[in-house]
Structure 1
Amino acid sequence: TLTFIKAMNMSYLNPRIVNLTGIPGLEHMKFWIGFPFSGMYLVAFLGNIILLIIIPVEHSLHQPMYIFLAVLAATDIGLCAAIAPKMFAIFWFQSCSMAFDACLAQLFFIHTLQCIESGILLAMAFDRYIAICDPLRHTSILTPSILGCMMGVVVIRAVLLVGLLPILIKRLHVFHSVHIAHCYCEHMAVVKLAAEDVRVNKICGLFVGFSILGFDMIFILISYALIFQAVFRLHQKEARLKAFNTCTAHIFVFLEFYILAFFSFFSHRFGHVVPSMHILLSTIYLLLPPALNPIVYGVKNMVIRKRVAQIFLLGHGSLQ
């Protein structure tokens, strides 16, 4: 009985507030760690805003690939907005407390936007597959209505599946701690606080991860296997290089996104990674792809490069 009473005294019943501790083991450095993260955030925010300005006004970019890129840019801005304000409040202003419901809302938006990003990468791979393997039917297959349906399915899939995660957490009432060793509310980091049976939560988390990230990654790999097969069948070396060149940016973004995603996913469940390293890499995983995506796609596209140069030249001219 005394053990039970002690356990209850050490637990929290229906907590209203949680505390995000930042990066465990590096608390003394968190003020300085905030600066490189703020640099990534600014690059991500400005780069994706520029894409959202250029793509709608440039008629030559009104193609499926760049429509998907615009949606990807909007998703990346949302992801940065979901994580950055609270993270910088922790690093620079020691503002670590957060309402439990706000934590669940952040968890929902971060994971939903990650899953939407994965779906967009799959849609972009499908676009490259059609463009290279069946170019004559590209415009007839990827019509505006089909693009809209694809984006609708990607968003609905993410909202419905990720929506299960906070709902299942809300059924938990007893927690052994309210201190989350992270910079943001991540699903498994919150689940690990519970002092109840969380097998359903873990199984659901694995199901959502594999049914979205795993499914998308498998079909992206299949798409690129078919693309490379078609490219190597081309007789002219120039044609092969041109076809491969149209895919390089997407391959880079795909590898960067999924390698970091699965590292974060598996290390929380099965790995024995040093907590500070895991949380640093998990945070980089959320901010690095949004920062790199506009750079990678912008460098590869001459129209985007010219438009960016015009924007900065006009800005420079107006300052003089």
Structure 2
Amino acid sequence: MARAVAVPPPRSGRVRGEAGRRGKRPRRRGSRSARIGLYAFLVTAALFFLLPLYVMVVTSLKPMEEIRQGGIFALPHALTLAPWRQAWSGVCTGAACEGVRTGFWNSVAIAVPSTVLAILLGAVNGYALSFWRPRGAGVLFAVLLAGAFLPVQVMIYPLVRVMALAGLFGSLPAIVLVHLVFGMPVMTLLFRNYYAGVPHELFQAARIDGGGFWRIFLQVMLPLSLPVIVVAAIMQVTGVWNDYILGLVFAGRDNLPMTVQLNNVINTTTGIRLYNVNMAATILTALLPLALYFLSGRWFVRGIAAGAVKG
């Protein structure tokens, strides 16, 4: 009979070590160079955007005597907030010398209804196109999508004629309605693509439980839409707040937004040009969109990751 020969077990530590050495790949030199190049690009891009903001801030905190001495990048020696106070409540924006605060409240009165109505209608449109799909939904969605790519300047004259015939030209409802029309395609696209990622079984279960169009929308879909609502709000508020040409044409003299008043401040040709006041007025005009972005940036990224801009 053959005698059984005991075979010693392999040394696991040695085998693992050899496997580990075989599995290790040499670190590529190009990866380090690529990382350095990436960081260099990011730092350059950050400086490109932050350097003008830095110049604006330090200039707005300097008196005019210090500005005339040069040194655009130098920190203020005699820090003052007088340019900010003058820009807010004392600088002339045309014939009136009430600062940009009037334009600020006009912009708030324009942006709030333009944003709320656009989000509500865009959510309803996206919900209907995603789940109910009425007859001609594809054609309607194509028309709305095409409207997102039409230049604003092409539609100004027809809208002026329509608003004049309706008796709304030069009023607050006119500018709100115009922003609502131009914001509707993008809002519908955002909500339609977001709802396309919601499981259809959830909608079918709500239908089995007896839910109708509005009940399912208000109790099921709308509570799930917080990320995309934040994305839509940031986009709409930023677009409405930064608008100049539509506010200049449709708002009328009593409802001019902050951007129009800022243009009147900076492009004035009478008196001494106050660079510190101009910079303070510019920062005040851009302050709300910047604050909105920084305060809700986390929700903005979450909304994009959830599929808000995916096709």
> One fold, TM greater than 0.5?
no
Q: TM-score, normalised by structure 1?
A: 0.29
The structure whose Rg is larger is 2
Higher strand content, 1 or 2: 1
Higher helix content, 1 or 2: 1
